[in-house]
Amino acid sequence: MKKLSAIALVFILAFSTILGGCSSSSNSSNSGEDTSLEYVMDKGELIVGLDDAFPPMGYRDDKNNIVGFDIDLAKEVAKRMDVKVKFQPVSWEAKEQELSSKNIDCIWNGFGITPEREKVITFTKPYMANPQIFVVLADSGIKTEADLKGKVVAAQSGSTAYATIDADTKLKDSFKEFIGVEDNVKALMDLEVSGSDAVAMDTVVARYYMTKEPNKYRIIEDTTILDEVMGVGFRKGDNALCKKVEDTLKEMKKDGTLAKISKEWFGEDLTTIGE
């Protein structure tokens, strides 16, 4: 989701079906003893690193409070672990360094799982699927991907959707024009005033705006630009803490809490962990 390289993107679908969740390798200190869960429980606080400008996963509301879907999940997980939760905004480019220096305990912010990231980060099993899709206005005559031929398509510059299409020469060349815009809000505004015919974006973002403004947008069904999955990221080898969070998410899936939170943000249950 967040500024992935085009090369990494092509491997996501192939690897997403074999992601094993928290592994049993040694911890990040290489001491042979994984004390990651004990570390968090002893200090009584789980510090979650995030980009606080990424709705609907984590962002600041009109009162400057950090809110979002992932925020609600992390709060419930911390509550069930009987620890406090602290949301720590970080530079996305420095997220791995923030983890290794223990300024944060995990990265939880619409964090796409990729083979490149798995080399340096321990991930939970995916808790949500996030296919990249096309969005059009509800009354648009565009019904299928084939209908996009000769049309103007937009995507947020640096996004997964943009990088995927930019690397797909055949698809990109079928458009009249493929344009990059500053963010998804701008992309949807341009769509409304006929600046484009369709927007390529994350399913979770699209569902969020469709919930906020019903009957304005429509997803082109049965068309996926790229399959993507999200997980919670921890220091490499922090398996005990990772497993505790993963198991708690599975409990929340089983008792319906994940579905409830997802429906509040997206109008449907998009969560997948434990299935």
Q: 48 and 125 share a domain? A: yes
* Overall number of domains in the chain: 2
Q: How far apart are CA 100 and CA 105, in angstroms?
A: 9
pLDDT recorded at residue 51: 86
Q: 136 and 116 share a domain? A: no
Q: Which of 36, 22, 26, 11 is nearest to 123 (CA)?
A: 22
**192 domain residue, yes or no:** yes
Residues of the chain with pLDDT under 50: 2-18, 24-30
pLDDT recorded at residue 1: 52
Domain of 203, in residue numbers: 132-219
Contact 180, 162 (CB under 8 A): yes
Q: 143 and 118 share a domain? A: no
Amino acid at 1: M
pLDDT recorded at residue 241: 98
Q: 253 and 137 share a domain? A: no
pLDDT recorded at residue 29: 45
Decide the pairing of beta strands 128-129 and 45-50.
unpaired
pLDDT recorded at residue 11: 45
Q: 111 and 234 share a domain? A: yes
Q: 36 and 124 share a domain? A: yes
**6 domain residue, yes or no:** no
Q: 168 and 55 share a domain? A: no
pLDDT recorded at residue 54: 82
Domain CATH for 140: 3.40.190.10
**256 domain residue, yes or no:** yes
Size (the chain), residues: 275
User: Which element (helix H / strand E) includes 222?
Assistant: none
**246 domain residue, yes or no:** yes
pLDDT recorded at residue 99: 95
Question: Which residues are within 8 A (CB) of 169 and not within 5 positions of it... i.e. 6 or more apart?
Answer: none
Q: 117 and 194 share a domain? A: no
pLDDT recorded at residue 31: 53
Q: 51 and 140 share a domain? A: no
pLDDT recorded at residue 157: 86
Q: 70 and 184 share a domain? A: no
User: Which element (helix H / strand E) includes 124?
Assistant: none
Q: Which of 180, 78, 196 is nearest to 135 (CA)?
A: 196
Contact 155, 198 (CB under 8 A): no
Q: 153 and 93 share a domain? A: no
pLDDT recorded at residue 104: 98
Token pair in block for residue 111: 């964090």
pLDDT recorded at residue 161: 86
